[in-house]
Structure 1
Amino acid sequence: MKITSVAMNLSAVSKQQYPTQNWPEIALAGRSNVGKSSLINTLIQRKNLARTSQTPGKTQTLNFYEINQAFNLVDVPGYGYAKVSQKRRAAFGQMIEEYLTTRQPLQGVLILVDGRHPPTADDVSMYQFVHYYHLPTLVVATKMDKVKKNRWQQTQQVIEQTLTLSPVDQFQFFSAVTKLGRAEVWQWIEQQIHLN
């Protein structure tokens, strides 16, 4: 994917605020601090367009990143962060559910899981939810530079078994540090949005 232009299009909390161009969209979902912002910055080769934060739970809106004036990457709020109040978490849940279930241009979802640990109950719930709605899914194991190479096969097995990964969905290792998986993630995105 050759990146010619990138812009933070807008932030939204409800469908009244979604972009109106109807470009294809790919959503990124994952636990707080799993590396969504780092993955976006690595994909688009910009240091700080998506703001990475040491404080989990920072993304509290749906953030639409306009790529090449042709499609959007959509960063959804991270889930599973304990310091966000129950009420706030319920609001995030509603916001994410509304987006994933009603958004026509949505062509697929990247679910990010931390490659250093087995998927959490929240990861499993998110995967089951997306799978239930038949959204094409790429499960991305992040932070793989921190996992010894000889444990990668075991890491993949644990993730696929814990999520009960469907044969129709795909799996990819990723590292924002080494750029491992960048080309493969782009390839998957291009297939979903039919730009190639």
Structure 2
Amino acid sequence: MFIVKSSEFIKSTSNVCDFPNEGLKEIAIVGRSNVGKSSIINSLLNRKRIAKVSSTPGKTRTINFFLINNSLYLVDFPGYGYAKVSKYERNSWKSMVESYFYNRDVLKKVILLIDSRHDPFESDLIMCNWIKDMKYNLSIVATKSDKLKFAEIKKNDLKFRKNFDVSKILFYSALKNENRNELLNFIFSDI
């Protein structure tokens, strides 16, 4: 079982030259705007405010690096799919994300967060396929599961696994923190 003994925010940057270069393994967290990336990070690391949570979509505009157990980085990405962003800013984010994914030998896994309450968005399916095409180890976490009844979770689990063509999707609520150990193992066990 993976245990988080220590965690700290290291840096926030949009410049490839400023990415950490110690050679530590990295796990990237990606997903649409307001899917709950910051809430999941806070829950995973058992820290209430290590990642800034906002109800305003598109708040995270840089790549944020969190050091875990002095041995690996959790990397938080800006959300995609937010419509009220200029074309220039959208292209800038796209360039930043691509430069990270194409140039990070230390990237060992990508966690794609999806909203458990909604059918898969086209942008989520595109991101999933892009990650698979790049041959990265992929895990999908369906967020905000506290908003669903058990029957809805079962139904959406089947639908999501089929749409994303994966064998397992973990449903999780950062609000309730239930199954946190399962989430930790789901993310960190094969790193």
TM-score range, shorter chain: over 0.9
- Partner of 2:34 in structure 1? 33
Q: How many Å separate the matches in 2 of 1:157 and 1:189?
A: 20
Superposed, 1:162-177 pairs within 5 Å as: 162-163=163-164, 165-167=165-167, 170-177=168-175
- Partner of 1:159 in structure 2? 160
The 8 Å contact of residues 118 and 162 in structure 1, kept in 2 or not, is answered as no
Moved over 6 A (4+): none
One-letter amino acid of the counterpart of residue 177, structure 2: K
Deviation string 1:125-172 (CA, Å, 9 cap, x unpaired) is: 100100001111111000000011111111112222222x245xx421
Deviation string 1:83-125 (CA, Å, 9 cap, x unpaired) is: 1111111111111111122101100010000000011011011
Deviation string 1:51-96 (CA, Å, 9 cap, x unpaired) is: 0001110110110001111111000110000111111111111111
One-letter amino acid of the counterpart of residue 137, structure 1: L
One-letter amino acid of the counterpart of residue 151, structure 1: E
The 8 Å contact of residues 30 and 110 in structure 2, kept in 1 or not, is answered as yes
- Partner of 2:177 in structure 1? 179
Q: How many Å separate the matches in 1 of 2:103 and 2:113?
A: 22
**SS of the residue 2:189 aligns to:** helix
Relative to the length of structure 2, the TM-score reads: 0.95
- Partner of 1:150 in structure 2? 151
One-letter amino acid of the counterpart of residue 136, structure 1: N
The answer to whether structure 1 residue 104 and structure 2 residue 102 are counterparts is no
The 8 Å contact of residues 141 and 170 in structure 2, kept in 1 or not, is answered as yes
1:49 CA displacement? 0.7
Q: How many Å separate the matches in 2 of 1:166 and 1:175?
A: 20
Unpaired runs of 5+ residues, structure 2, are: none
1:38 CA displacement? 0.4
Q: How many Å separate the matches in 1 of 2:111 and 2:189?
A: 13
The 8 Å contact of residues 107 and 192 in structure 1, kept in 2 or not, is answered as no
**SS of the residue 1:46 aligns to:** coil
Q: How many Å separate the matches in 2 of 1:166 and 1:173?
A: 14
Computed over aligned residues only, the root mean square deviation of the Cα atoms, in angstroms, reads 1.3
Relative to the length of structure 1, the TM-score reads: 0.92
Q: How many Å separate the matches in 2 of 1:57 and 1:3?
A: 28
Q: How many Å separate the matches in 1 of 2:41 and 2:118?
A: 21
- Partner of 1:192 in structure 2? 190
The answer to whether structure 1 residue 54 and structure 2 residue 61 are counterparts is no
Using the aligned pairs only, state the percent identity: 38
Deviates more, 1:2-11 or 1:119-128: 2-11
**SS of the residue 1:188 aligns to:** helix
One-letter amino acid of the counterpart of residue 65, structure 2: F
- Partner of 1:90 in structure 2? 91
**SS of the residue 1:100 aligns to:** helix
Unpaired runs of 5+ residues, structure 1, are: none
